[in-house]
Amino acid sequence: MSTPTSPLTHFDAQGQAHMVDVGAKPATLRIAVACGRIEMLPATLALIEAGTAKKGDVLGVARIAGIQAAKKTSELIPLCHPLALTRVAVDFERASLQYPEATGLVCSATVETVGPTGVEMEALMAVQIALLTIYDMCKAVDRGMSMHGVRVIQKRGGKSGDFEENPHCT
């Protein structure tokens, strides 16, 4: 087995991409929280909040899409391990609660597993797909929606230790 010469774990000593071997790592509780926001016209937000969008319950569908995305992360990100997730929670709040000047929604996803590798990618995937689902369901009335600040804000467990950023999504 070659020793990596790069701090990027997905490359071997020859610079070739590979899936990291996590076989010898202990199974521990891993938690990641990611967030992001989608900005939109006030009228679009009103449609979503009133539940009167033509395609139905926008946030309910986006929540399920985010959960499904977390479960399918390894199918879309080539070097991610397939994981047995123990919890995926996708939540939404008005962006103006955190950003008074913004009109839109903040999405946060919390993903947990007990295993040898973390769930940051699953949390990021859940947020991004939930936001894309909102866009898809509302694009007929607002093609100018934009997504911002998708990132990990908290990670627990694993050899690299815990990480926590400002709990607000920007």
Active-site residue (options: 21, 136, 142, 162): 136
Packed helices 42-50 and 58-71: angle between N→C axes, nearest 10 degrees:
90
Dist CA 164 CA 153 (whole Å): 6
Name which of 64, 73, 59 is nearest 105 in CA terms: 59
**For the chain, how are helix, strand and coil distributed in percent, rounded to 5?**
30, 30, 40
* Sequence-separated (6 or more) residues with CB below 8 Å from residue 133: 58, 61, 62, 65, 66
The one-character DSSP state at 6 is: S
Active site residue 57: no
DSSP reduced 3-state for 107:
strand
Residues acting as catalytic residues: 136
